[in-house]
Amino acid sequence: MKPWAAVIGSPIQHSLSPVLHSCAFELADLDWDFRRVEVTGETLPSFMEGLDSQCVGLAITMPCKQSVIPFLDTVDALAKNVGAVNTCVVAGGLLAGFNTDVHGIVETIRDEMPGRSITGGNGKKAVILGTGATASSALAALTSLKFDHITVIGRSFAGAGNVLQAGGRLGADFDPLLWHHSHQVERVCHDTDVLISTIPPHATEALAVALKPRSNQLLLDVTYGSGTSPLTTSFRKSGGRVLSPLRMLAYQGLAQDKLWSGIEVPFEPVYHAIKNAA
């Protein structure tokens, strides 16, 4: 049997990871298989226990990014601080966890904002919509990019594994803001330089109607496969700049491939492969 890797999570049928990694394996001249496996929180234990010796790694999506951690032998410091693992490397019978979502967000923003424009002390502002695992990755990314003011907007900041706890571990300075403070939410989103949405598209409908994006504002809606989100439509109509979630997907996926194989694959062919398949 060939070496193999897989994307796991639920729902998984829309995932472009098989296109991404199959293209990367071909470019790296690796005779590996890539699978798509529906795994829920309930089926995760049996799946992890059933991994065979030919498995080289896993790409992990929701709802497994946090629940997979107890099954791992080691967890990288960044993933531990974020509180979410999207990559598992299988080697020597051990399972190691990493987070490449942070890298994907950082590189996608860097593509549109030259490094000199996002150094600390320049007053740059960012807003994150959501409080879950991907929001925590976005917070780590924006902190590493040295944004001067970060606001995280959510319906609740209670419960285990949320962005408040991740922020404490990361040493991130940010303002939490509840959704029901609607006028303040609209003002903060209007004034920001970068808006990152990690929530389902339908949850942004009211904000999209109220928001009037400026031409120099950036939007990164990390969701894909659900059609055009209301926020994306609003930004495009108003001349705001929309960052492709597929670029984030490609960057984080290629970082996974490097962790699995040690081989660095060029970005553009893989990005165009998933863009054509989307």
Q: What does the domain layout of the chain look like in residue ranges?
A: 4-99+252-277, 103-243
The dihedral built from the CA positions of residue 82, 88, 89 and 91, taken in this order, carries a sign that is: positive
Q: For position 278, what pLDDT does the model report?
A: 87
The candidate with the shortest Cα–Cα distance to 199, out of 235, 163, 168, 165, is 163
d(CA 188, CA 183): 9
Q: Identity (one letter) of the amino acid at 178?
A: L
Tally of CB atoms within 10 A around 99: 28
What is the distance of C-alpha 91 from the center of its chain? 24
Tally of CB atoms within 10 A around 220: 27
> In this structure, are residues 107 and 141 in contact, taking their beta carbons and an 8 Å threshold?
no
Chain position carrying tokens 């019978």 = 93
Q: How does DSSP assign 26-51, residue by residue?
A: HHTT---EEEEEE--TTTHHHHHHT-
Q: For position 116, what pLDDT does the model report?
A: 47
Q: For position 121, what pLDDT does the model report?
A: 58
d(CA 106, CA 126): 13
d(CA 157, CA 232): 25
The candidate with the shortest Cα–Cα distance to 8, out of 71, 58, 74, 68, is 58
Tally of CB atoms within 10 A around 52: 8
Give the domain 103-243 fold: Rossmann fold (3.40.50)
Chain position carrying tokens 């790409």 = 59
What is the distance of C-alpha 212 from the center of its chain? 25
Omega of the bond leading into 63 within 30 degrees of 0 (cis) = yes
Q: pTM value?
A: 0.94
Q: For position 20, what pLDDT does the model report?
A: 98
Q: For position 120, what pLDDT does the model report?
A: 56
Q: For position 48, what pLDDT does the model report?
A: 98
Q: For position 113, what pLDDT does the model report?
A: 77
- For domain 4-99+252-277, the CATH class is alpha beta
3-state helix, strand, coil in the chain (%, to 5): 45, 20, 35
Q: For position 214, what pLDDT does the model report?
A: 87
Q: For position 95, what pLDDT does the model report?
A: 98
Q: For every one of its 278 residues, what pLDDT tens digit does the chain have, with 9 covering 90 and above?
A: 899 999 999 999 999 999 999 999 999 999 999 999 999 999 999 999 999 999 999 999 999 999 999 999 999 999 999 999 999 999 999 999 999 999 999 999 999 876 545 555 567 999 999 999 999 999 999 999 999 999 999 999 987 678 999 999 999 999 999 999 989 999 999 999 999 999 988 889 999 999 888 888 999 999 887 667 899 999 999 889 999 999 999 999 999 999 999 999 999 999 999 999 98
